[in-house]
Structure 1
């Protein structure tokens, strides 16, 4: 596994939320912070939502990258906005492992010179109103922080107000 902030007993900054769509209503709730460091835990928390509608998670890790997790019977659909994050963060390495993608072979010191790229399915939210082309544009805008990219996803899908209320309650 990759070295990460958790190896040094330092929790990453950021937030993890569950987004649920029941008919035409969006609900956003905070997940336990352990979702930021453990992909299995994030998936477990999302499965425990037991909602009748669609459920997915948005994880902002250190404002460096984000992960979309959508539980499914055959295994979660996943998207990580920056595959190079797997070098420094276990949760990103877990996503690549689940996608059967090798961790990029760079030294941490070289990462400033490497253009980030996403791994996973940019169409994982297409059936909920976010086409893969739009997701690709959002992920591809590397001038934005992860929370700004998640904000764009929320705005495009129609749950920006709900997300904002949860982030305010978390102090973000």
Structure 2
């Protein structure tokens, strides 16, 4: 993969420990390779929740939440797998076939309950994902606001 254009966007880790939220940047390799994102997040030792938010090329987002039994994943637009390796990797891990190239519709794939224990039920996450006129960073900001880490999210985005 040497010489490939880096993927635009941002990748951040979100940690909730002792009732406090912390957001930190992940290496940009996390935007290109799902394994890189999962590995980076799994290395973060915490007694609380750890998950990653990946906004890719102003097109879609991925939520990655590692656990001992494997990563929980949510891809905001399954059709992104036709153009982006990381989205294709998500579908592979979920054992879901990519959509037909002619299919114009947008739908999420994965675990809509991925953040339910943090205050964002699947039905609400479905509504946020359904806001297709918004950019992924705007959708992720809605998620941050709903879960209670909007200030930390915004502060990190301002640094990136």
Between the two proteins, the alignment pairs up a number of residues equal to 160
Cα distance between partner residues in 1 of 2:132 and 2:57: 15
- Correspondent of 2:29 among 29, 34, 47: 34
1:82 to 52, 77, 81: 77
Deviation beyond 4 Å, 4+ runs, structure 1: none
Q: Does 1:68 align with 2:63?
A: yes
1:25 equivalenced with 2:25 (yes/no): no
What's the offset of the Cα at 1:134? 0.6
Secondary structure, in 3 states, of the residue corresponding to 1:103?
coil
2:152 is aligned to 162
Quick one: distance in 1 between partners of 2:3 and 2:110? 28
TM-score by length of 1: 0.90
SS at 2:100 equivalent: coil
- The answer to whether 1:93 aligns with 2:124 is no
Tell me the SS of whatever aligns to 1:122: coil
Where does structure 1 lack aligned partners over 5 or more consecutive residues? 1-5
Alignment of 1:38-53 (within 5 A): 38-53=33-48
C-alpha change, 1:169 and 1:84, in structure 2 (3 Å) is same
Match of 2:135 among 133, 137, 145: 145
CA deviation digits over 1:39-83, x for unaligned, max 9? 000000001111111100000000100000000111100000000
Equivalent in the alignment of 1:103: 98
Q: Which runs of 5+ in 2 are unaligned?
A: none
Write the distance in 1 (CA, Å) between the matches of 2:73 and 2:22.
20
- TM-score normalized with structure 2 length: 0.96
